[in-house]
Structure formats: structure tokens, C-alpha cells
Amino acid sequence: MNANHTIEDIPVIMISSDDSDDAIRRSYELGASDYVNRPFDARIVYRRVTNTIKLYAKQRRLVQMVSDQIRARENNTDTLVGVLSHIVEFRNGESGAHVRHIRTITEILLHRLLENSNKYSISAEQQDEIPLASALHDIGKIGIDEKILNKPGKLTPEEFEVMKTHSMLGAEMLHDLDNFGEQPLLQTAYEIARWHHERWDGRGYPDGLKGDEIPISAQLVSLADVYDALTSERCYKKAFSHEKAVQMILNGECGAFNPLLLQCLTDVQADLKEELRQHD
């Protein structure tokens, strides 16, 4: 029962004629809830069994209540992140679909990365936080002039320099929130907002980080962002096919990426193509 964890949900009461301290201690160490010596009174055993079952039922109800509260809080967080990211996309002249795609693509790449390699220590909480925080990757665009944000043609070098400031703007906005220090989700969102335009070869912005100096959260979202940008129609470009987009990324036409993530991209092509087909 210990091996398959059923001991955590099913109470065990030990009945034995061995009343030595060692036997009783061993039973409790193995996970017994109670210990009854022989000979015993059936009514007392019945009462002890009833009390143990009630205690376990109460414990299960409390665990369920806590789970429900956590789920409700997660749903609220999800909703707020969704609203914020939609505001950014609306101002950016894009549909809210971009945010949903980034989240799904990030999730697909992350799961594949965890299957392929244990190089990065990504906790279960971070596995939930990274896709959710990805929705805030462009939150700094709230601070960029709309004429630059929605310009149909190519940006001038000066305009591009202004556009580049969105990563630091977003990071600062998140960092300045009162509870930043206690909120791992905000810290992950900060990493992504600040560093999702860094490049594996160190030629990205704003900090010129190279290789694994870039947090893995930002690396994942960076690749997801480029794939979605290529396969989506924008005011300044037509959409490329899935095959063309993957080919351009693998050829190094759209930046430099972690070879491990490029392998993940290659591995999950069928899933990405299906995701693309669903949002067409």
C-alpha cells in the first residue's frame, strides 16, 4: 500500500496479539492509523474503526476544499492574464488569437523539451506558469506609440529602436508590481517579457544574453513567438505555411535558437500543424 500510495487514502488498523513496543512502533512507521491488541472487545474495535473512517472523510473534505480554492484562484489569474494580454493585442491591431497560439505552442514545445532532455530543472509549478506567463510577453507594447505599433510598412531604424524598448518596458511594469517578490508567476512573466527577443548567438536585445544565459522560459516563448508571427497574417506581411515557417526557422533566417529547442520544434511538427489548422 505504501508502494502504490493507497495508504494515503485508505486507513489501516492493525490487530495483533503481539503487544511489544517494537511491533506497535513498526506498524505506525509503516502507516497504520491505529493498533488493537488481541483479545479485543468487538464494540470497541467497531467504534475505533468508525472514528478512523470519519477522520479520513473529514480530511478528504478539507483537501477537496483547498483544491477547489486553489482552482478558483488559478481561474481568476487565468482570466486576468487573458484580459491584460487581449488589451495589448487590441492596441497592437491584432486579434487575441495570437496570445492563445503563443500559449499553446509554448506548452507543446515545453512538453517535448521535458521528454527529450533533463538539462533544465523545470518544476511542476513552472510547467504551468511558463505557458500562462507567455501571454504577457508583449505587455510592454502598451507603452509604444500606435503609429509605430501599427505601421503597415517597414520600420525605420529609429522606429525599430523605439519598438525594441517594449521588452524592457514590460519587464519594468511587472517588476514594479507590489507583490512581485512573492509571485513566481510574475517573476516568470518578467523573464519572458524582458528576454524573449534575445538570441542564442548573443545578438538579440535588450541585454545581448547568449546561450543558456537566457532563461529557458524566454527561449521557449521566443521560438513560439517567431513561429506564430511567420504563420499569421500581419499588417506588414502575408502568412507563411507551416512547412515554410519551420524551414525558415531551421535555416536560421529568423534568429538563432537553442539547438535542443530546434530539435523539439522538428519533433512536434504534426502537433503544430494541427494547431495551425484549428485556428485558420
Least confident of 19-23, 31-35, 58-62, 168-172: 58-62
All domains in the chain, ordered by first residue: 6-59 (no CATH), 71-278 (1.10.3210.10)
Q: Are the C-beta atoms of residues 201 and 210 closer than 8 Å to each other?
A: yes
Higher-pLDDT residue of 96 and 2 is 2
pLDDT band at residue 16 under the 50/70/90 scheme: very high
Where is 50: in which H helix or E strand? Answer: helix 42-91
Look at residue 83 in the predicted model and tell me its pLDDT: 75
Give the per-residue pLDDT at 122. 92
pLDDT in tens, 216-265: 999 999 999 999 989 887 656 678 888 999 999 999 999 899 999 999 99
Residues with a catalytic annotation lie at 141
Burial tier of 137 (Cβ tally within 10 Å: 0-12, 13-18, 19+):
buried
Region 92-103: mean pLDDT is 74
Tell me: the pLDDT tens digits for 28-64? 999 999 999 999 999 989 999 999 999 888 888 887 8
Answer yes or no: is pLDDT of 96 > 70.
Answer: no
The answer to whether 103 and 132 have CB atoms below 8 angstroms apart is yes
> What was the pLDDT predicted at 93?
64
Instruction: Report the C-alpha gap between 1 and 267 in whole angstroms.
Output: 38
What average pLDDT does the segment 124-143 reach?
Answer: 91
pLDDT at 95: 56
Q: What is the pLDDT of residues 49-58, one digit of tens each?
A: 999 999 888 8
Q: What is the pTM of this model?
A: 0.72
Angle, helices 42-91/124-134, rounded to nearest 10 degrees: 30
- Identify the pLDDT of residue 280: 58
Average pLDDT of the chain to the nearest whole number: 88
Model pLDDT, residue 76:
72
pLDDT band at 68 (very low <50, low <70, confident <90, very high): confident
- Lowest model confidence (mean pLDDT) among 77-91, 100-114, 158-172, 222-236: 77-91
pLDDT at 176: 93
